[in-house]
Amino acid sequence: QKEVEQDPGPLSVPEGAIVSLNCTYSNSAFQYFMWYRQYSRKGPELLMYTYSSGNKEDGRFTAQVDKSSKYISLFIRDSQPSDSATYLCAMSASGGSYIPTFGRGTSLIVHP
Amino acid sequence: DSGVTQTPKHLITATGQRVTLRCSPRSGDLSVYWYQQSLDQGLQFLIQYYNGEERAKGNILERFSAQQFPDLHSELNLSSLELGDSALYFCASSDISAPYNEQFFGPGTRLTVL
């Protein structure tokens, strides 16, 4: 079993839909949870991060962490075609060099 | 633009050959990371350098090696290449003082081994 599991998709939704992207993990030492967005032929870029459990909102994006279930989510409201990309979850433990462990990424397609 | 540059963008070579990938980190970042991304494995951490010294090692094969130079640019050397080494190779840099360690990724080098 991989430390971080993420459904690769693709997930295809119409413009304006609410998108839910999820990851599960097995390492209870993870404290920092991140979502990266990767457009085609580009490197990943950090979208959001949260520390420990709880929610964090940034515009149309909301990140949720449920440490008791070892489950994290990214919600995208009013999705746009420009949101079409691969979304990678990443997580790291506190202390040490904070090297994140990445999920495989979920490919999201928002069609007009 | 993340500020991280990588060269070359594309590399096509044959099995058994050796290649060198180059990365320049963001201005001021002392830490450099190398990742391999393939369709079946996702983004795999290979190795980290901090201010010229190896800091952490991930799933890096013995045929692969890296170094970071005094001007902080880094090179990833891949030797005795196999078909399975075909992948995207990303370099990232960070300001290691940030606890969540936001990494800034370069555009990647696409390696094709024929």
CA distance A67 to A93: 13
Q: What is the mean pLDDT of the segment spanning B51-70?
A: 94
Chain A residue with minimum CA distance to B49: A97
Report d(CA B72, CA A9) in Å as an integer. 38
CA terminus-to-terminus distance, chain B? 31
pLDDT at B108: 97
* pLDDT > 70? residue B99: no
What pLDDT, on a 0 to 100 scale, did the predictor assign at position A99?
A: 85
Query: By the 8 A CB rule, do B50 and B72 touch?
Result: no
Q: Chain A: give the shortest CA distance to residue B95, in Å.
A: 11
A39 touches chain B (CB under 8 A): no
Decide if pLDDT at B47 tops 80.
yes
Distance from CA of A46 to the nearest CA of B (A): 7
CA neighbor of B98 nearest in space, from A29, A67, A97: A97
Q: Do A97 and B56 touch (CB under 8 A)?
A: yes
Determine whether the interchain pair A102/B92 forms a contact, defined as Cβ–Cβ distance below 8 Å: no
Residues of A in contact with B104 (CB under 8 A): 45-46
Read off the pLDDT band of B39 (50, 70, 90): confident
Residue A87: predicted pLDDT:
97
- pLDDT at position A93 is 86
* Nearest CB partner across the interface for A98, out of B100, B105, B108: B100
Determine what percent of chain B is predicted with pLDDT higher than 70: 96
Please, which residues have CB within 8 angstroms of residue B39's CB and are 6 or more apart in sequence?
none
- What lies within 8 Å, CB to CB, of A7 at 6+ separation is A22, A106
Q: Which chain B residues are closer than 8 Å to A100 by Cβ?
A: 45, 101, 103
Task: With CB atoms and an 8 Å threshold, state whether A46 touches B4.
Answer: no
Q: Residues of B with CB below 8 A from A6's CB?
A: 42
CA distance B92 to B89: 10
Report CB contact under 8 Å: B42, A100: no
pLDDT tens-digit map of A10-25? 999 999 999 999 999 9
Q: Pick from A48, A94, A102 the residue to mutate for testing the B interface (most B CBs within 10 Å).
A: A102
Report residues of chain A scoring pLDDT below 50: none
